[in-house]
């Protein structure tokens, strides 16, 4: 089957009239960069935020038009709200330019954070940098909360590098029910949602910020999570668009920060903590991952990355220290195999550490007031 091209998509979208009914959405500069993978089309339509709801038929028309292109297997079409200089008659951003998302200097008011029906506490698991074992920690934390008797789900917020499908050994595509609601995937009792369920593992997501924000919020709000006590959000590393979108538009109950002991990782962890502080998301605690290594043959302990740095940082800034996770072959092997240590060896030393961290995290959530905070289509 021949590959569908961007030019074909743009030509088709020129048939879709814009809100003024005088020009098409391509000429008006409303169409984002177009991404094509396995003949599935991904793009967003930039509209004034105040008119997003009334312009939903525009998204539907664009989706229908693209699906009629010969060879197209499906489409992910989202509405991206342009808030910059917004007015009811605001003009969409020009072609090739992304609408600016919220920034620390212009936070969205907390009163605009809409709660999500059925979800209790939403907690973010974050780190300032990659490679510190954040996703592995998030999965085992979620499973630990579940083992402590809670109903738990997990959202993979890393659009560019989703890890949850592999860590939970889930494959396939989620179902979609009426009103475009997505049924989450599930394994080990955890409900899960990830961009990794919608595209192939080797597919590179080359999306600009507004489209990432739009898809992320829809994966959160248009998924049939059911009734959950906790939704764990596995954040991407850093302090960019995804972090700010969630912190400013979602009623987060708090954040758990993961770091390794050495100073280099702690420098970036401090940035994540500072970011959450600016948007008034409480820090539930810090976890020191890869805290120490115990040789399996001799039992000798080695502090490969140093030891105690995360605990000292927690004490310095006055937030709870949730625990230290050892660097073990077991955690690495079970994570790679998609059988997290909390379910594969629930009585083992590593699983016990995660269960204790989960209990401390839940304790931090008790008594806290959760402060109240576009459409995803796929085949």
pLDDT score of 171 more than 70: yes
For residues 289 and 353, the answer to whether their CB atoms sit within 8 Å is no
124 SS3 class = strand
Mean pLDDT for the chain?
81
Q: Does a structural domain hold residue 156?
A: yes
Q: Does a structural domain hold residue 187?
A: yes
Are 213 and 180 in a shared domain?
Answer: yes
**DSSP codes of every residue in 141-197:** HHHHHHHTT--EEEEE--SSS--HHHHTT--S---EEGGGEEPPEEETTEEEE-GGG
pTM of the model: 0.70
Are 277 and 360 in a shared domain?
Answer: yes
pLDDT score of 146 more than 50: yes
CB atoms inside a 10 Å sphere around CB 320? 16
Helical H runs in the chain? 6-13, 56-67, 134-147, 164-167, 209-221, 241-249, 263-278, 309-317, 329-337, 341-344, 349-365
How many domains is the chain partitioned into structurally?
2
Task: Band the pLDDT of 245: cuts 50, 70, 90.
Answer: confident
Task: Report percent pLDDT > 70 for the chain.
Answer: 83
Domain boundary among 73, 98, 123: 98
- Please give the pLDDT value at position 81: 60
Are 149 and 298 in a shared domain?
Answer: yes
Average pLDDT over residues 350-377: 74
For residues 82 and 36, the answer to whether their CB atoms sit within 8 Å is no
Q: Does a structural domain hold residue 295?
A: yes
pLDDT score of 92 more than 60: no
For residues 293 and 322, the answer to whether their CB atoms sit within 8 Å is no
Residue 334 CA, chain-centre distance (Å), reads 23
Lowest-pLDDT choice from 120-129, 205-214, 322-331, 344-353: 205-214
Are 79 and 121 in a shared domain?
Answer: no
Q: Does a structural domain hold residue 373?
A: no
Spatial neighbors of 367 by CB under 8 A, at least 6 apart, are: none
CATH number at residue 329: 3.40.50.300
Q: How far is CA 198 from CA 40, 42, 67, in A?
A: 10, 11, 17
Average pLDDT over residues 220-228: 90
- Please give the pLDDT value at position 249: 76
Task: Band the pLDDT of 186: cuts 50, 70, 90.
Answer: very high
Task: Band the pLDDT of 94: cuts 50, 70, 90.
Answer: very low
Indicate if the alpha-carbon torsion angle 4, 10, 14, 16 is positive or negative: positive
Residue 204 CA, chain-centre distance (Å), reads 16
Are 305 and 163 in a shared domain?
Answer: yes
pLDDT score of 343 more than 90: yes
Domain boundary among 64, 98, 132: 98
Are 145 and 17 in a shared domain?
Answer: no
For residues 220 and 213, the answer to whether their CB atoms sit within 8 Å is no
First to last CA, the chain: 18
- Please give the pLDDT value at position 19: 80
CATH number at residue 76: 3.30.300.130
What is the rounded (10 degree) CA torsion for 368, 374, 375, 377?
-90
Give the DSSP letter of residue 113.
-
Quickly tell me which residue has 């962890």 as its tokens: 269
Are 89 and 128 in a shared domain?
Answer: no
Are 130 and 236 in a shared domain?
Answer: yes
Q: Does a structural domain hold residue 72?
A: yes
Spatial neighbors of 85 by CB under 8 A, at least 6 apart, are: none
Q: Does a structural domain hold residue 120?
A: yes
pLDDT score of 98 more than 70: no
pLDDT score of 154 more than 80: yes
Spatial neighbors of 225 by CB under 8 A, at least 6 apart, are: 116, 118, 119, 153, 184, 191, 231
Task: Band the pLDDT of 192: cuts 50, 70, 90.
Answer: very high
Are 285 and 178 in a shared domain?
Answer: yes
Are 94 and 214 in a shared domain?
Answer: no
37-72 pLDDT per residue, tens: 778 888 888 887 677 778 888 888 998 999 999 988
Indicate if the alpha-carbon torsion angle 199, 204, 207, 209 is positive or negative: positive
Are 168 and 138 in a shared domain?
Answer: yes
Domain assignment of residue 50, given as a range: 6-98
Between 149 and 22, where is the model more confident? 149
Average pLDDT over residues 118-144: 90
Lowest-pLDDT choice from 3-12, 49-58, 127-136: 49-58
Give the DSSP letter of residue 116.
-
d(CA 35, CA 233): 25
Are 88 and 121 in a shared domain?
Answer: no
- Please give the pLDDT value at position 137: 95
The b/e string for 153-184 (b: 16+ C-beta within 10 A; e otherwise) is bbbbbbbeebbbbbbbebeeebebeeeeebeb
193-213 pLDDT per residue, tens: 998 888 776 676 666 667 777
Adjacency order of strands within the sheet including 35-37 = 35-37, 40-48, 74-82
Between 280 and 183, where is the model more confident? 183
Q: Does a structural domain hold residue 370?
A: no
Spatial neighbors of 233 by CB under 8 A, at least 6 apart, are: 122, 123, 124, 125, 138, 154, 155, 157, 246, 252
Q: Does a structural domain hold residue 314?
A: yes
Domain boundary among 98, 120, 142: 98
């Amino acid at each position: 089957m021949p590959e569908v091209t961007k030019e074909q998509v743009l030509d088709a979208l020129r048939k879709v009239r814009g809100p003024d009914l005088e020009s098409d959405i391509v000429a008006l500069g409303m169409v984002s960069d177009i991404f094509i993978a396995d003949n599935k089309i991904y793009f967003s339509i930039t509209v004034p935020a105040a008119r997003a709801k009334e312009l939903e038929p525009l998204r539907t028309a664009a989706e229908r038009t693209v699906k009629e292109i010969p060879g197209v297997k499906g489409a992910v079409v989202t509405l991206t709200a342009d808030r910059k200089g917004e007015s009811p008659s605001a003009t969409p951003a020009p072609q090739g330019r992304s609408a600016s998302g919220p920034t620390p200097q212009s936070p969205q008011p907390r009163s605009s954070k809409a709660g999500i029906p059925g979800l209790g506490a939403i907690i973010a698991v974050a780190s300032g940098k990659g490679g510190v074992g954040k996703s592995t920690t998030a999965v085992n934390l979620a499973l630990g909360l579940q083992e402590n008797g809670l109903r738990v789900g997990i959202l993979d917020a890393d659009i560019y590098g989703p890890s949850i499908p592999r860590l939970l050994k889930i494959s396939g595509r989620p179902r979609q029910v009426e009103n475009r609601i997505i049924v989450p995937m599930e394994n080990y009792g955890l409900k899960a949602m990830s961009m990794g369920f919608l595209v192939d593992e080797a597919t590179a997501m080359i999306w600009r910020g507004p489209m990432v924000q739009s898809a992320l919020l829809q994966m959160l709000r248009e998924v049939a999570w059911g009734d959950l006590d906790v939704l764990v959000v596995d954040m991407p590393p850093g302090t960019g668009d995804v972090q700010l979108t969630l912190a400013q538009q979602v009623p987060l109950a708090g954040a758990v920060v993961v770091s390794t002991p050495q100073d280099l990782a702690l420098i970036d962890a401090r940035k994540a903590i500072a970011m959450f502080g600016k948007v008034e998301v409480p820090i539930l605690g810090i976890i020191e991952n890869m805290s120490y290594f115990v040789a399996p043959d001799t039992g000798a302990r080695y502090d490969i990355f140093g030891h105690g740095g995360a605990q000292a940082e927690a004490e310095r800034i006055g937030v709870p220290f949730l625990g230290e996770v050892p660097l073990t072959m077991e955690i690495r092997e079970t994570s790679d195999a998609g059988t997290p240590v909390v379910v594969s060896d629930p009585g083992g030393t590593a699983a016990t550490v995660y269960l204790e961290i989960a209990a401390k995290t839940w304790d931090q959530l008790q008594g806290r007031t959760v402060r109240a905070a576009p459409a995803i289509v796929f085949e």
